[in-house]
Amino acid sequence: MALDLHKKPFDEGTKVKLSLYKNYIQEWLPVFLGSNPKYNRVNIFDFFCGPGKDEEGQNGSPLIILELLDQYLENIRKHNITVSLFFNDDREIKIKRLKVNISNRYVEGVPYEIEYSSEEFEKIFNYHIDLMSDRHSSNFLFLDQNGVKYITSDIFIRIVNIPTTDFLFFISSSTLNRFKDNPDIKKYIFIPSSILSTSNYCHIHRRVLEYYRDLIPKHKEYYLCPFSIKKGANIYGLIFGTGHLLGIEKFVNQCWKIDPQTGDSNFDIDKDNIDEFQPSLFPELDKPKKVQGFEKELKNAIMNRKLATNIDIYKFTLFNGFKAEYAKRVVTKMMTDNELPRQKINISYSACKHSNAPRQIKYG
């Protein structure tokens, strides 16, 4: 039987996971529940929801989303937006406990539609796929699986093709590494053992991200961002997905708030050993290897004209998990070093709005 994570206090890794979830939802909700909503229905699916709290009363994902939604209750009513929450856990006892926790929060009744279920993931996912695909709906999917088996290639591709849908899923990346030759694991996720065997163990979640990126249809513009979480000796991870540039920018920014060094882990993933309180005598040693690599790759891509416009640079930056300000620094330095002529280059989401045409980079 799988370990019941709710029978003890949330550990630090779980707190990081829930923090990213909460921080991104805080950025996501205003887009759909703000002063000018574009959709009349918002669906939030928590497919592995748990009872809502740990044994010390710390809020899990169901109560976190309710706490955030309550801030928009006036707007929801004003614009007549239907907000539907779907809480599923295959252990019925957890759903019963969740109902109690939610009823304790709303003495006068819950102001949102809530559907509770206790089904296997694939069954409940298939049951709701038509609702998710409705063109009048926006969706957020939280898939906090315990293990690796649920987000198969088939499920992943189906999620990617649902319109106006962002998702965040959790996966035990170290399990894939430990059992890389196990047929039962390979039938869910097949990453060649040769790739896993030659990868730095701390980077295993980055390899998992590459696996899912390779599944995205070639013609489809879709964005994924990872965040590696270390719990003891094990590496777990989150993968966020969206078809919208603004969505990936918001998630990337939240990752960098948690990890100001590399923006993708809660530990020293590249063993940079940087101490912000004791700077090195050589400034380049205080710059993480991931940042150095990105700056070099971005500069080369601009100089080789593989990135020909400001929007190309912006997308490249987000695709690599960096905030736009990192690209701005690179471009500014290139102009300072006379590698590019002085020019205004808007590297931000505003540059990608329909009214703004891409601006060609001037090379002198």
Together in a domain, 311 and 203: no
Together in a domain, 177 and 326: no
Structural domain includes residue 318? yes
pLDDT higher than 50, residue 282: no
For 31-51, give the DSSP string: HHHSSS-S-SEEEEEETT-TT
pLDDT higher than 50, residue 1: no
Q: Which domain range does residue 116 map to?
A: 5-258
Predicted local confidence at residue 5, as pLDDT:
56
Q: Is-above-0.85 flag for pTM?
A: yes
Structural domain includes residue 313? yes
Together in a domain, 137 and 252: yes
Together in a domain, 310 and 199: no
Predicted local confidence at residue 137, as pLDDT:
92
Structure confidence by residue, pLDDT tens digits, 171-206: 888 777 777 677 777 777 777 777 767 677 788 888
Structure confidence by residue, pLDDT tens digits, 74-117: 999 999 999 999 999 999 999 999 999 999 999 888 999 999 99
Together in a domain, 159 and 244: yes
Structural domain includes residue 167? yes
- What total number of domains does the chain contain? 2
* Tokens at 165, concatenated: 């849908």
Q: In the 8-state DSSP scheme, what is residue 55?
A: T
CATH number of the CATH domain containing 104: 3.40.50
Predicted local confidence at residue 294, as pLDDT:
95
Together in a domain, 236 and 328: no
Structural domain includes residue 83? yes
Helices 310-319 + 245-258 axis angle, to 10: 50
Q: Which amino acid makes up residue 121?
A: F
Predicted local confidence at residue 34, as pLDDT:
86
Q: Do 301 and 307 contact (CB within 8 A), yes or no?
A: yes
**CA dist., res. 295 & res. 96, Å (int):** 51
Q: Do 142 and 61 contact (CB within 8 A), yes or no?
A: yes
Together in a domain, 163 and 32: yes
Structural domain includes residue 265? no
Together in a domain, 208 and 299: no
Together in a domain, 342 and 297: yes
Together in a domain, 65 and 200: yes
Q: In the 8-state DSSP scheme, what is residue 53?
A: B
Together in a domain, 28 and 171: yes
Return the SS3 of 223. Answer: strand
Q: Which is higher by pLDDT, 156 or 231?
A: 156
Closest Cα to residue 168, out of 126, 187, 140?
140
Together in a domain, 214 and 333: no
